[in-house]
Amino acid sequence: MSVIVFLGPSLPVADAHRIFAADYRPPVALGDMYRATLEHPACIAIIDGVFHHQPAVWHKEILFALAQGIAVVGSSSMGALRAVEMAPFGMSGVGRVFEIYRRGVVDADDEVAVVHGDENAQYRCSSVALVNIRFAVEDLRELGLLADAEASNLISAVKRLHYSDRSWPRVLTWLDASIGSDRAATIATWLADRRPDQKREDARQLLERLAAGEFRGDPSPRMPFERTYHWDRMLLEEDPAYSAETA
């Protein structure tokens, strides 16, 4: 049974193939989910998606897939966001990033945003997602390397940065100025050894669960789908063969 996975910077596609053999496609953008639905896969998984330079995947596209009885699951980045928003309609979510959105610990889109290269550059990242920094800081707090107030102040400082400016060097610069160079050096060593990346781990978890047969044997139930003016407008732009009068 076919599975389509939208994947980009969260996990290298070569690594993904080693976990689960699927139809891997670039980060999902407006119209991609609709076109994937027309192929009638058993499952569509969203890990990464665009949102800044291109229109993001519509919630209505996900509803359309669910209405066709296709299982839809999300994780890690754009997939985690949409999974929380669309959970009432049957979309599933996987991973710690999904959980902190679901619980309302975070709610901003830019928590998962990163700057990255294109497919030819293997989506190599030049910034770090705030959620990855959050989970690393929580680990540092639990290890006693950061006090509660220090951890909170660090997250507040990083959150004030534009998502494109968030990086581990900036984190270490802040720590050096705030807690001293000796402790900052200890944390730098910990970060270098561990290379914390929760988005990557969540993507792996989703693929492992797909490999185990989840999210395909019991697809989401068919539900009514209501066409709207904006839906027809989107399809007229995305699908030259579509006709709003005859559909």
Average pLDDT of the chain? Answer: 91
Task: Tell me the domain boundaries of the chain.
Answer: 3-109+199-228, 119-198
When pLDDT is cut at 50, 70 and 90, the band that residue 137 belongs to is very high
Q: What is the mean pLDDT of residues 160-177?
A: 96
- pLDDT of 247 higher than 60: no
Angle at 231 between CA 49 and CA 236, to 5 degrees: 95
When pLDDT is cut at 50, 70 and 90, the band that residue 244 belongs to is low
When pLDDT is cut at 50, 70 and 90, the band that residue 202 belongs to is very high
Q: What is the mean pLDDT of residues 14-23?
A: 97
Identify which has the larger pLDDT, 237 or 194: 194
Q: What is the mean pLDDT of residues 208-227?
A: 76
For 106-135, the pLDDT digits (tens) are 999 999 999 998 888 888 889 999 999 999
When pLDDT is cut at 50, 70 and 90, the band that residue 237 belongs to is confident
| Contacting residues for 73 by C-beta, under 8 A, at least 6 apart | 43, 44, 45, 46, 79, 83, 91, 92, 93, 94, 206, 210, 215
pLDDT at residue 192 in the model:
94
Please report where in the chains the tokens 């009514």 appear, as a residue.
224
Q: What is the mean pLDDT of residues 38-53?
A: 92
Query: For the chain, how big is the Rg over CA atoms in Å?
Result: 20
pLDDT at residue 246 in the model:
43
pLDDT at residue 143 in the model:
95
- pLDDT of 217 higher than 80: no
